[in-house]
Structure 1
């Protein structure tokens, strides 16, 4: 018996084959949360010894070049890397040594004077889904510099902040739990 190959049958078999070939990639993509698939960084490995003499209570290195935050626990047993947003310009990027001086779940947000000059429409914002600080904030010893979450996941992996280091809300919640006040921070 001869099988008649029509254009429709050829097209359908091509689609079925493409689906079979792409299935492993589709399955892998499905295992990554949708909010974490885009804007991920190409991380550069960091060693805490290149930045600090000791680990202290914990250590964070925020790398603005690779857009990654590196965390080490005080005993050195826990090392984590998180994708971040970084300052939008060199003028807004502060580099150097600081530390976490305060932490807050459900932070409110007040624009800085320099933000108000550039964006006069900005206003105080209480905690909530519109707040640019997300669900958690860790305040640094530098005034107006914060490691915080964001509800706008498009910002992660990009130069998009006014000076702060931003993380996905789920990731800042993790980091918040393991980073005590006094954690030493270096922004490079």
Structure 2
């Protein structure tokens, strides 16, 4: 009688024998606490435009700095969208309240404010539109000076406290919002 034992079957048997105790221990292991895992994704909080505005007007935007989400409703209320955002780095840079969209620009240029340059003297005086520009591909200007809703080329910033006061979106999302949002859209930052 010949043995059907080959080198391959012997290795498979040994591997199984050594792996079995580890697999059994893994089944008994306590699951990882997901709340302890840190991510840069938002935990969106549902908003209703009626909690913030009397009417939709030309449309409304609610930028929620706590959940790091921007909510958009069209003028007739039929189109609702939610986007993950970056938010200001600190409370002293966060402006809250009511404003509106006053201007929009594809390929915005960037000029750091005096306070930005005080915090970081290495910032340039001015930056043309392009890959290194922190305003990304599109910018929506608000009635508050130096506060914008804009894109970013640095996708690591989304879901984080990373801006000098503005609300940032992924470039493809700001492009979408830009197309939807007319001048005069009401905005509330909470």
TM > 0.5: yes
Secondary structure (helix, strand or coil) at the match of 2:15 reads helix
Matches within 5 A, 1:1-188: 1=4, 4-6=9-11, 10=15, 39-123=40-124, 124-188=126-190
Runs of 4+ in 1 over 4 A off after TM superposition: none
Q: Deviations over 1:107-166 (max 9, x none)?
A: 000000101111111111000000000000000000000000000000000000000000
Give me the CA root mean square deviation: 1.9
Distance 2:61 2:10 in 1: 63
Counterpart of 2:35 in structure 1 is: none
CA distance in 2, matches of 1:8, 1:105: 63
| 1:41 CA drift (Å) | 0.9
Counterparts of 1:57 and 1:8 in 2: how far apart (Å)? 70
CA apart distance, 1:5: 3.6
In 1, Cα distance between the equivalents of 2:14 and 2:49?
Answer: 60
CA distance in 2, matches of 1:84, 1:111: 20
Q: SS of the residue aligned with 2:78?
A: coil
Structure 1 residue 39: Cα displacement: 2.5
Q: Larger Cα Rg: Structure 1 or Structure 2? A: 2
Question: TM-score w.r.t. structure 2 length?
Answer: 0.82
C-alpha separation in 2, matches of 1:147 and 1:9: 60
| Helix, strand or coil at the partner of 1:6 | helix
* 1:3-30 CA-partner distances (Å, limit 9, x unpaired): 734169837xx8xxxxxxxxxxxxxxxx
When normalised by structure 1's length, the TM-score is 0.83
CA deviation after TM superposition for structure 1 residue 85, in Å: 0.1
